[in-house]
Amino acid sequence: MAQKIAGYVKLQIPAGQATPAPPVGPALGQHGINISQFVKEFNEKTASQQGLIIPVVITVFADRSFTFITKTPPAPVLIKKACNIHKASGRPNVEKVATIPWSECKKIAELKMKDLNASDVESGARMVAGTARSMGVLVDMDS
Amino acid sequence: MILAEITIVTTPAAVEVIAESLIAMGARGTAVQNPADILAVVEQPNVPYEYDDDLVGNLNEATLTAWFDEDHLGADHKQALEAKIKCELERIGTYIPIGSGEVSIQKVIQEDWENAWKTYYQPIIVSDQLVISPTWIDYNPQPGQHIIKLDPGGAFGTGSHASTLLTLELMEIYMIGDSKVLDLGCGSGILSIAAAKWGAYKIDALDIDPVAVETTIENVEINCCSDLINVQEGELYSLSAKQKYDFILMNIVADVIIDLLPIAADHLRPMGLLFCSGILNKKEDKVLTVARRSGFEVHERLERDEWVAFAFSHGS
């Protein structure tokens, strides 16, 4: 079918737990797409990833039909998982909550490479390291 | 219920971190518009979408929207929330470039989102003989009028797009009963169902997208046409040389039509017609050049908005 893209949006939704509540309702409602069907399809597709927050990019076509692709979890979620912490520091410049090895930043960058606006893994890892520092996570450049 | 909708203009590098911070501050959810996301969609191989250039926008800018409960909207609360967000942006900005960091807050009414989208859909009167109606509306047809029951969803072809309407128009002009039809890129199945309503005795509906195949099967069942329509995941190249049709429907996009035109004639019966739609008028000449080179002649040309459709006949 002749699919002309009218808009797009990325949401972060717990796997298998999408509902019409925010962000799904207000973000997709303005495009006039079938929210119940999106919720059903997203939950079916991500049922096996329960417990993870899944970024999903929804593409809306000119006749209000849609398609979506799920992406890798957000960098802050992967950093918290790698450091085994539940939340970021409230005062990251003075209160450090964990240390992440540079090698782990590179692993996260590799995993997220197709979603990052980075030219190579090294620059992707530097973006991940910046995210880690903003969360009060120190970066150990020697490991 | 009323929600506070916060919009922040920032950079692709900072957008996820800011989203995470707003969730920690009590946001009920976030939505992001990052050009990298749509580029990843349109640059997928074998999925040619049409789109306007301004869809992608500035590659260095991303927009974040977050929703908070209404208790953040009182004058004091609103100022406090705005100040807290600006403070958070300043903090994040010491680690990651945050761009303009422009913040705006507005009020949105929480609707019954599960059903509100239905207001966008009403029966579409395609012609005196054909109406497309959502399943939740009990449309009362005029004598001689066919109804296609179709719920909009995850596959293209709700009936509201010019390219679909143009194909339906060509079908109504030329399609006679007792014909065999191939629907390439069937999407929602709307064209296959229309062919069944107009008396085709056999329709093969193909799509490379499994979601479209599943949606077509559902819609074919809703419209009680399962005995006439064979739905399969596949493409023109997967057909055997023996499979020939009176009508071939291609409501796809110009670039795919151009690829398929050289072999389409192999599957057309003598006197058969090929309907090509989904062609933006700026790509019309490219399609015509390849069509003529492949032995097709223009039998009919229709245009609506920026879209063009052709009925082609073949000289062989």
Q: For chain B, which domains are there? A: 2-119 (3.30.70.260), 130-314 (3.40.50.150)
Residue B262 DSSP class: H
pLDDT band at B43 (very low <50, low <70, confident <90, very high): confident
Interface probe, candidates B17, B214, B279, chain A, greatest A C-beta count within 10 A: B17
Comparing alpha-carbon positions, the chain A residue that sits nearest to B190 is: A1
Mean pLDDT of B161-166: 91
CA distance B134 to B132: 7
User: What is the phi/psi pair of residue B16, to 5°?
Assistant: -70, -35
CB contact under 8 A, B50 and A26: no
A65 interfaces chain B, CB cutoff of 8 Å: yes
- Average predicted confidence (pLDDT) for chain A: 88
Token pair, residue B181, equals 């039809």
Task: Record the pTM.
Answer: 0.74
Q: Is the pLDDT assigned to residue B98 strictly greater than 90? A: yes
Q: What Å distances lie between residue B44 and A69, A120, B47, CA to CA?
A: 11, 19, 6
- Please report where in the chains the tokens 């040389």 appear, as a residue: B241
- Average predicted confidence (pLDDT) for chain B: 90
pLDDT number for residue A1: 58
pLDDT number for residue A59: 93
Walk along chain A (143 residues) and give the pLDDT tens digit of each residue.
Answer: 557 899 999 998 988 889 888 899 989 988 888 888 888 889 888 888 777 788 899 999 988 889 898 888 888 888 998 999 988 887 888 899 999 999 999 999 998 887 776 789 999 999 999 999 989 999 998 87
pLDDT number for residue B222: 94
Q: Cβ(B301)–Cβ(B309) under 8 Å? A: yes
Token pair, residue B202, equals 């056999």
With contacts defined as CB-CB under 8 Å, which chain B residues touch A69? Answer: 40-41
Comparing alpha-carbon positions, the chain B residue that sits nearest to A30 is: B117
pLDDT digits (tens, 9 = 90+) for B196-249: 999 999 999 999 988 889 989 999 999 999 999 999 999 999 899 899 999 999
pLDDT number for residue B191: 96
Give residues with Cβ within 8 angstroms of A81, minimum separation 6: A73
Query: By C-alpha distance, which of B274, B265, B284 is closest to B174?
Result: B274
Interface probe, candidates B39, B119, B161, B304, chain A, greatest A C-beta count within 10 A: B161
A119 interfaces chain B, CB cutoff of 8 Å: no
pLDDT number for residue A2: 56
pLDDT number for residue B46: 67
Q: How close is the nearest chain B Cα to the Cα of A110, in Å?
A: 16
User: What is the phi/psi pair of residue B81, to 5°?
Assistant: -65, -45
Give residues with Cβ within 8 angstroms of B8, minimum separation 6: B18, B63, B64, B65, B66, B85, B89, B101, B102, B103
pLDDT number for residue A105: 95
Give residues with Cβ within 8 angstroms of A66, minimum separation 6: A31, A33, A34, A38, A58, A59, A60, B153, B154
With contacts defined as CB-CB under 8 Å, which chain A residues touch B38? Answer: 5, 8, 57, 59
Mean pLDDT of B159-181: 91
pLDDT number for residue B171: 96
CA distance B55 to B44: 16
CB contact under 8 A, B51 and A5: yes
B156 vs A21, A63, A130: nearest CB: A63
Which residue type occupies A53?
I
pLDDT number for residue B79: 85
pLDDT band at B165 (very low <50, low <70, confident <90, very high): very high
Q: Cβ(B46)–Cβ(B208) under 8 Å? A: yes
In sequence order, the β-bridge partners of residue B66 are: B6, B30
B31 vs A11, A76, A92: nearest CB: A11
